[in-house]
Structure 1
């Protein structure tokens, strides 16, 4: 089937977000930082905010569980913008090239509805999507729940079999494949341009 649509995840694909960019200097102790991120402000907790829970509510829940870490937990979302370090230039360059092709471009991201507007405002390449972005925090659904892919497919009247899905998370890639998408898994050393060309996409 001919590919008509290319769908991008954002974190780890187009933007470099990592809580360590803030907490490395905050703790000045890598062991303590890793303990905090693995056991206190773990990714499963952050994902609930990506699923639509308010940042303030998520923070309060965790502070009640770990009162001795209150200062650090409150620092998490207060300094969230420091964690969004930069774009990922080589992949954004591919996105810009795709803008001048006939492919439809979409975003499908696990991202808090409260923090996503900052990224939209500060990184101009998001405008390339013309608003065709499905944000987990807005939908109250999160990858790898298949329902969020169905939101994208139904809202924009597209077919999985005519679409490439690009993500850095193996679980999301696995789910997308099971739904009929062609997939590209992004690693730090992935040549996205080459991967797309291997699938017959001309840039």
Structure 2
């Protein structure tokens, strides 16, 4: 199975969904290239939620703390439009705390494309320097900073919490 994942279901293949390509298209193309794995490829879409290991320890609590403190929460996520709705529904208690969530697959643009940050700033009604952007990829943070966001490269929840306290967004 690991060989199948490494050779066939690649990050590059999956990233097409985040950019807005429908699973039916990408899976048909992949199955045509790897007919011996067509059944497994077909299962990826319906079972996508199983590929996500769960929240990073301490992160949901940070979101809850920020929300309780009245900090407006917005998100930009690289995620398939098709896979987003069921994933969001399964984690409604977390995502309902956000005022708006920009989903790359719906917009057909992905981080770190500057256009997604420009859209987010307009859609969320943010001016340069008004919002902290947290992401685990340095290239995404750099692109967010270029668009006028204040950046934080996420490493772990305790480090983020300390930064939020230092910025006065939450109490120690």
What TM-score, normalized by structure 1, do the two folds share? 0.76
Deviant stretches of 4+, over 4 Å = none
Do structure 1's residue 159 and structure 2's residue 159 form an aligned pair? no
CA deviation after TM superposition for structure 1 residue 189, in Å: 6.5
Aligned residues: 170
Give the Cα separation in 1 of the matches to 2:6 and 2:156. Answer: 22
> Does the 8 Å CA contact 2:141/2:153 hold for their aligned counterparts?
yes
1:11-70 C-alpha deviation (Å, 9 max, x unpaired): xxxxxxxxxxxxxxxx2xxxxx1x433432111111111111111111111112222332
1:79-114 C-alpha deviation (Å, 9 max, x unpaired): 212123322341110110111224221010011111
Do structure 1's residue 128 and structure 2's residue 97 form an aligned pair? yes
Give the Cα separation in 1 of the matches to 2:146 and 2:123. Answer: 20
Do structure 1's residue 171 and structure 2's residue 143 form an aligned pair? no
Which is richer in strand? 1
CA deviation after TM superposition for structure 1 residue 190, in Å: 5.0
Paired residue for 2:13, among 36, 45, 51?
45
What TM-score, normalized by structure 2, do the two folds share? 0.88
Give the Cα separation in 2 of the matches to 1:98 and 1:188. Answer: 16
Give the Cα separation in 2 of the matches to 1:190 and 1:66. Answer: 43
Task: Tell me which of the two structures has the higher relative contact order, counting C-alpha pairs closer than 8 angstroms and 6 or more residues apart.
Answer: 1
> Does the 8 Å CA contact 2:76/2:120 hold for their aligned counterparts?
yes
> Does the 8 Å CA contact 2:65/2:170 hold for their aligned counterparts?
no
Give the Cα separation in 2 of the matches to 1:162 and 1:97. Answer: 19
Where does the alignment leave 5 or more consecutive residues of structure 1 unmatched?
Answer: 1-26, 28-32
> Does the 8 Å CA contact 1:49/1:55 hold for their aligned counterparts?
yes
Where does the alignment leave 5 or more consecutive residues of structure 2 unmatched?
Answer: none
- 5 Å matches for 1:43-192? 43-123=11-91, 124-130=93-99, 132-188=100-156, 191-192=159-160
Give the Cα separation in 1 of the matches to 2:56 and 2:79. Answer: 17
